[in-house]
């Protein structure tokens, strides 16, 4: 089945230690998104790639970076995690960025910062 | 600008009784609207989607929603709740450029 895969499902890191979260997709979609979801809140968009074109949200901290080496993979890098970065990180994909396009979400990676 | 308001942060029903999760939207043009469900520690799963075709939209697991332009509403319903329906539900509008605008979420509890 075509799907969005995130690894690992659970990640524990130490305060200030860089961490990378991974997302892959078999849908061959052009757009890949990263969301941050804190407890009891709606997901918050961090950034997205349309093909190789990177689009950062204005309020995304510089501590968060992303890479998309090819169509299938996208990575979220947190350069110096703080306690406030503990959250669920969701990857999503869509075929294009049209208003009728559906975003398909992966299962998420829960990040714990010690 | 687009916005979404979910009118209840928490809804509790008994198994076998109807479910109603309320959502109002604001949009300057004809929106695309979605309902997603999120079970604990899981990603978001698409329940159903409205894109200006039929106003009554049927989704997975027996859920449906009706788009009412005059009331700017997109309420989610299910005739008979099941224990497995207990989860967080998000009403979402797709803004121009593909950006999703999320409601605050409604937590559905189902009592035996």
Phi/psi at B60 (nearest 5 deg)? Answer: -85, 160
Secondary structure (DSSP) of B20-62: EE-EEEE-SS--EEEEEEE-TT--EEEEEEE-SS-SEEE-GGG
Residues in B closer than 8 angstroms to A29, CB to CB, are: none
- For the segment A3-28, the average pLDDT, to the nearest whole number, is 96
Q: Which pLDDT score, from 0 to 100, does residue A99 have?
A: 74
Residue A111: pLDDT over 90: yes
- For the segment B5-17, the average pLDDT, to the nearest whole number, is 97
- Rg of chain B over Cα atoms, rounded to whole angstroms, equals 13
| pLDDT 10s digits, A18-40 | 999 999 999 999 999 999 999 98
Compute the mean pLDDT over every residue in chain B, rounded to the nearest whole number: 92
Q: Which residues contact A111 (CB under 8 A, 6 or more apart)?
A: A11, A12, A13, A19, A21, A78, A81, A85, A86, A87, A88, A89
Residue A106: which of B43, B98, B103 has the nearest Cβ? B43
Q: Which residues contact B16 (CB under 8 A, 6 or more apart)?
A: B80, B81
Higher confidence at residue A52 or residue B95? Answer: A52
The pair of three-digit structure tokens given for residue B84, joined into one six-digit string: 């497995």
CB atoms A98 and B31 under 8 Å: no
Residue B43, min C-alpha distance to chain A (Å): 4
Paired sense of beta strands A73-78 and A87-94, if any: unpaired
Mapped onto helix, strand or coil, the DSSP state of residue A83 is: helix
Q: Which pLDDT score, from 0 to 100, does residue B2 have?
A: 82
Least confident residue range of A68-82, A87-101, B55-69, B78-92: A87-101
| pLDDT 10s digits, B34-60 | 999 999 988 999 999 998 778 899 999
- Rg of chain A over Cα atoms, rounded to whole angstroms, equals 13
Residue A2: pLDDT over 70: no
B44 vs B88: CA distance, rounded Å: 9
Token pair 């605008």 is found at B101
Q: What percent of chain B has pLDDT over 70?
A: 100
């Amino acid at each position: 089945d075509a799907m969005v895969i995130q690894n690992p499902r659970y990640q524990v890191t130490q305060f200030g230690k860089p961490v990378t979260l991974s997302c892959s997709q078999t849908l061959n979609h052009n757009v890949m998104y990263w969301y941050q979801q804190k407890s009891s809140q709606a997901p918050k968009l961090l950034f997205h790639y349309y093909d190789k074109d990177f689009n950062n949200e204005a309020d995304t901290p510089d501590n968060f970076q992303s890479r998309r080496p090819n169509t299938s993979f996208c990575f979220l890098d947190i350069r110096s995690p703080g306690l406030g970065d503990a959250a669920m990180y969701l990857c999503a994909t869509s075929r294009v960025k049209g208003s009728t396009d559906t975003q398909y979400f992966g299962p998420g990676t829960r990040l714990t910062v010690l | 600008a687009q916005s979404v308001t979910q009118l209840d942060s928490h809804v509790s029903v008994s198994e076998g009784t109807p479910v109603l999760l309320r959502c109002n939207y604001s949009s300057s043009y004809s929106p695309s609207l979605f309902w997603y469900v999120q079970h604990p520690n899981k990603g978001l799963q698409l329940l159903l989607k409205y894109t200006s075709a039929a106003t009554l939209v049927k989704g997975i697991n027996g859920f449906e929603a009706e788009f009412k332009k005059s009331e700017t509403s997109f309420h989610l319903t299910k005739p008979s709740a099941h224990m497995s329906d207990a989860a967080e539900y998000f009403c979402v509008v797709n803004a121009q450029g593909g950006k999703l605008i999320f409601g605050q979420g409604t937590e559905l509890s189902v009592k035996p």
